[in-house]
């Protein structure tokens, strides 16, 4: 029997930058519940090394930042979204400073760094661990507000819609979410007038990813099952430089290392190969650099390529990248004197649940912000350091819209408890583990940086087989976090492959050998449930 909880007005799924920004913006108006899977700092925000892009320099303009974002996104961006986010960036930085984020300063002004794809220095940062400082400041502000309840250890299963009302309704209106309390094993119905998805991306669909372990696309899969459209799921960003180390998974070497003079070399010959691929060399956008690294690895049968910044002054390198430098030293790599072995890895989900400028999805009462969305900001490829920015702008926009519409948002009706009368405990956890590994491996091999129709069809075939298996399993056994994640992972894999098969061109992050040219018109891939 599930417990129903309607002590809150707004339910927020996710405790990263988007979720906490929304919660803090709402808290003076209503009671907010923030649900986190695992611990409160388990999302991607804490992992963001680079920083936040904003026009703060006298020589820079909004127009420049808009243009850079549009160029990186290969024209698939929605211009009004890009304008809205870029113009709100300085305000977002100001709010973070007020919350106590200790951004690096130089001569009394914010220190700005530069990253690939940017025409100017416009990245504010806290050393090379910006995300951690932002996460800490947001959490502290949220914890101090009496109207915000933070609840870790909640694995969300499905959105509560009209179908779950005691008086059944096919309206598609969202009233909150069913979530598994990981400590007790009970499923609770968390009910509110409005729900905000801020659940992050689907990076763990891939074998190599810089995303945290919990990035299993839960919000995207739940919104899709509830009837919301998703868009541009084929646009998966691969970061060109993830540390190659068999013991340490998913440690990212920030873009800023290349921004400050790091060069990519063939590990055997020492040849600097990026100028062979693009005149911008190491400062080309991520998709170009990731494909070049992937090409070198596949062409020469390498395990990794080298990223080398050792010709810069050692004190400069250690001072600029203290966390990376320290971490590498523990693994026996000194970046001040020699190269770093790196490989491309999945990094960011540019597609997701379709939203408008107020963060509204297709479903009444459901909003979304951050990496689980397709807002029109990133288009076919995300510009570096625009991701945290998107979280702040849309977290705030969703909160603003909820407050403005408060009188139209009805109080929730009686909701049916979660039904687990027909299920038993599973004795086959090994099946989940096996399926999980299988998905991640074939997605990496067939739906990775370079695609072909044949590879995509192979992936699709495997997804179809697994779907029957997992649905059967899900119907019979009590839910666990692993089973919930597996179901969502597979759903996201299916959406990625469907979207990729639909796009008959190469654009931005979607690169297929069968259609290497870009079509004259940029069109979103929109899937309708």
- The first and second tokens of residue 96, run together, are 């973070």
Q: Answer for the pair 400, 25: CB distance below 8 angstroms, yes or no.
A: yes
Is 286 one of the annotated active-site residues of the chain?
yes
3-state SS, residue 445: helix
Q: Can you tell me the distance from the alpha carbon of 148 to that of 146, in angstroms, rounded to the nearest whole number? A: 6
Residue 182, classified by CB atoms within 10 Å of its CB into exposed (0-12), middle (13-18) or buried (19+), is middle
Q: Dihedral sign, CA of 316, 319, 320, 324?
A: positive
Q: What is the DSSP letter of 451?
A: B
Q: Answer for the pair 293, 342: CB distance below 8 angstroms, yes or no.
A: yes
Q: Where are the alpha helices (DSSP H) in 78-124?
A: 79-98
Query: Strand pairing of 187-191 and 352-354?
Result: unpaired
User: Residue 40's closest CA among 228, 212, 180, 256?
Assistant: 212
Active-site annotation holder among 114, 122, 286, 291? 286
259 membership: H or E segment, kind and range: helix 256-259
- CA-angle at 79, arms to 75 and 82, nearest 5°: 105
- The first and second tokens of residue 88, run together, are 């709100």
- CA-angle at 60, arms to 347 and 509, nearest 5°: 25
- The first and second tokens of residue 317, run together, are 């390198």
3-state SS, residue 85: helix
Longest dimension (CA), the chain: 70
Strand order in the sheet with 174-181: 3-5, 187-191, 174-181, 154-161
- CA-angle at 336, arms to 267 and 115, nearest 5°: 80
Q: Can you tell me the distance from the alpha carbon of 455 to that of 486, in angstroms, rounded to the nearest whole number? A: 22
Q: Can you tell me the distance from the alpha carbon of 201 to that of 199, in angstroms, rounded to the nearest whole number? A: 7
Residue with tokens 């350091």: 385
According to the 3-state scheme, what is the secondary structure of 371-437?
Answer: HHEECCCCCCCCCCCCHHHHHHHHHHHHHHHHHHCHHHCCCCCCECCCCCCCCECCCCHHHHHHHHH
Q: Can you tell me the distance from the alpha carbon of 42 to that of 46, in angstroms, rounded to the nearest whole number? A: 7
User: Residue 406's closest CA among 27, 18, 29, 31?
Assistant: 29
112 membership: H or E segment, kind and range: strand 112-113
* Chain center to CA of 321: 23
Q: First vs last Cα of the chain: how many Å apart?
A: 30
Q: Which of the residues are catalytic?
A: 286
């Amino acid at each position: 029997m599930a417990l129903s909880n309607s002590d809150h007005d707004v339910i927020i799924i996710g405790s990263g930058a988007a979720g906490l920004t929304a919660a803090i913006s709402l808290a003076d108006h209503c009671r907010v519940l923030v649900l986190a899977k695992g611990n409160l700092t388990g999302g991607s925000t804490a992992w963001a090394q680079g920083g936040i892009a904003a026009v703060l320099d006298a020589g820079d303009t909004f127009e420049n930042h808009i243009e850079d974002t549009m160029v990186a996104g290969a024209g698939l961006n929605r211009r009004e979204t890009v304008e809205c986010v870029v113009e709100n960036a300085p305000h977002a930085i100001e709010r973070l400073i007020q919350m106590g984020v200790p951004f690096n300063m130089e001569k009394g002004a914010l220190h700005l760094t530069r990253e690939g794809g940017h025409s100017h220095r416009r990245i504010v940062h806290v050393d090379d661990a910006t995300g951690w400082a932002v996460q800490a400041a947001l959490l502290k502000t949220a914890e101090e507000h009496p109207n915000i309840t933070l609840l870790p250890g909640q694995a969300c299963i499905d959105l509560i819609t009209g179908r779950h009302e005691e008086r059944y309704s096919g309206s598609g209106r969202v009233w909150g979410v069913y979530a598994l309390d990981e400590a007790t094993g009970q499923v609770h119905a968390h009910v509110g007038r409005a729900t905000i998805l801020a659940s992050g991306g689907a990076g763990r669909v891939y074998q190599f990813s810089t995303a945290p372990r919990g990035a299993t696309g839960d919000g995207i899969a739940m919104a899709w099952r509830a009837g919301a459209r998703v868009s541009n799921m084929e646009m998966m960003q691969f970061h060109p430089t993830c540390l190659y180390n068999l013991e340490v998974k998913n440690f990212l070497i920030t873009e800023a290392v290349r921004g400050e003079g790091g060069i990519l070399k063939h590990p055997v010959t020492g040849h600097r190969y990026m100028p062979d691929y693009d005149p911008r060399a190491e400062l080309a956008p991520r998709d170009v650099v990731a494909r070049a690294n992937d090409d070198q690895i596949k062409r020469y049968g390498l395990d990794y390529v080298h990223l080398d910044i050792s010709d810069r002054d050692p004190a400069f390198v250690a001072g600029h990248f203290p966390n990376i430098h320290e971490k590498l030293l523990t693994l026996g790599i000194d970046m001040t004197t020699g190269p770093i072995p790196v490989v491309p890895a999945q990094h960011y989900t540019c597609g997701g649940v379709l939203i408008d400028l107020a963060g509204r999805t297709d479903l009444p009462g459901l909003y979304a912000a951050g990496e689980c969305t397709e807002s029109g900001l990133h288009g076919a490829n995300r510009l570096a350091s625009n991701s945290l920015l998107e979280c702040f702008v849309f977290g705030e926009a969703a909160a603003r819209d909820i407050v403005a519409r408060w009188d139209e948002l009805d109080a929730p009706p009686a909701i049916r408890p979660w039904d687990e009368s027909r299920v038993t405990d599973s004795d086959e956890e090994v099946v989940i583990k096996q399926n999980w590994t299988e998905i991640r491996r074939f997605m990496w091999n067939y739906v990775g940086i370079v695609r072909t129709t044949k590879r995509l069809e192979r992936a699709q075939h495997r997804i179809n087989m697994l779907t029957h298996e997992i649905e059967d399993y899900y119907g019979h056994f009590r839910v666990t976090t692993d089973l919930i994640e597996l179901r969502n992972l597979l759903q996201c894999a299916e959406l990625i492959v469907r979207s990729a098969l639909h796009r008959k061109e190469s654009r931005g992050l979607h690169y297929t050998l069968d259609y290497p040219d870009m079509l004259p018109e940029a069109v979103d891939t929109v899937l309708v449930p």
